[in-house]
Structure 1
């Protein structure tokens, strides 16, 4: 039986599967590098309600874009991506930044863009 096995490996010709393994590896490596570069947003200073109100009023009056960090954390304890846009309107519960509603109590930090 050993002779049959040796014969098989002597006659075996590679079908270039190594090429595909290398291709997968390079794609996998690229994805890992992208993940490393993607850093979670930094924790910004908690602003007082008076500071937040002042910045929001200024942005609304002058139609300037704002950058808002919400108080919510993801499953890993990181803050989400900043919300960037113009304030389109407001009500008693929050503001509308472009088409997204942000509650006043959700705002951790806001500054003009």
Structure 2
């Protein structure tokens, strides 16, 4: 993606809340290295995650992971890192590995 430039970006929640969606743009000296739109899955569990929804926590986790990957990371390494960080998020909040209502997110990533 060398030479790419992001001209405009915005995240606007439906309501007054900050929402569960994130936009990530990782730039280095050569332009945009990674761009992603992340949609936190709407939390239907009713759990309290310290004032945040499970979808927002998951979206934040994915965004943070993508933003901190080393510049030479491969797509496979990125997927492994995102998956590991989401599993760590589940452990932190004592959510079972097989819980279908665990914090989750989907993302479209250009690498």
Q: Give the TM-score of the pair, scaled to structure 1.
A: 0.25
Which is helix-richer, 1 or 2?
A: 1
Q: Which has the larger radius of gyration?
A: 1
Q: Say which structure, 1 or 2, has more relative contact order (CA 8 Å, 6+ apart).
A: 2
